[in-house]
Amino acid sequence: MRRCLLILLLSMVFVSCEKQLPTPPTPAPLPWSGKLSLSVEPPQPPVNKETTFRVKLLDEAGKPVTDASVKASLKMTTMDMGKNEVDLVAKGGGEYVGTGKFTMSGPWTVEVNASVSGKSGRQSFPLVVR
């Protein structure tokens, strides 16, 4: 019986000492140094009404980027309003368009995220909703 307990105890020690290999980190996307601009329609968005977001993407050489993944996150600056994201669709010539709603009046930030060819860029635009 003593021998069994000793073997069990040693087994537990060996198992707990087993080296765990770390999970390799996911590589972060490379920064994208192109140009990104945003326009909204209407220019002064009302509460709970459809707002159109137009993003123009240009690469480092000033040429339109036509194969990007673009998303806009709408964030109120004075309080957490939860997740409010708009997927933008390519319309050609480096233009991406989508619609969304602001759920409260006040100061907001539209954070545009663009990813293309393993690179990503982000830019924030302040906006006041009336």
Q: Quote the domain boundaries for residue 123.
A: 32-129
29/115: higher pLDDT:
115
Instruction: Give the separation between CA 118 and CA 92, rounded to whole angstroms.
Output: 20
Examine residue 76 and state whether it is found in any structural domain, yes or no.
yes
pTM for this model (two decimals): 0.77
How many C-beta atoms lie closer than 10 Å to residue 55's C-beta? Answer: 27
- pLDDT of amino acid 102: 97
Examine residue 5 and state whether it is found in any structural domain, yes or no.
no
Residues 33-79 have pLDDT tens digits of: 889 999 999 999 999 999 999 999 999 999 999 999 999 999 999 99
How many folded domains does the chain comprise? 1
How many C-beta atoms lie closer than 10 Å to residue 87's C-beta? Answer: 11
> If you average pLDDT over residues 84-99, what whole number do you get?
98
Examine residue 23 and state whether it is found in any structural domain, yes or no.
no
Give CA separation, 87 vs 7, 24, 69, 113, 126, in Å. Answer: 59, 30, 8, 10, 19
Examine residue 9 and state whether it is found in any structural domain, yes or no.
no
Q: What is the CATH number of the domain that holds 125?
A: 2.60.40.10
Examine residue 14 and state whether it is found in any structural domain, yes or no.
no
The string of DSSP codes covering 2-30 is HHHHHHHHHHHHHHHTPPPPPPPPPPPPE
Examine residue 119 and state whether it is found in any structural domain, yes or no.
yes
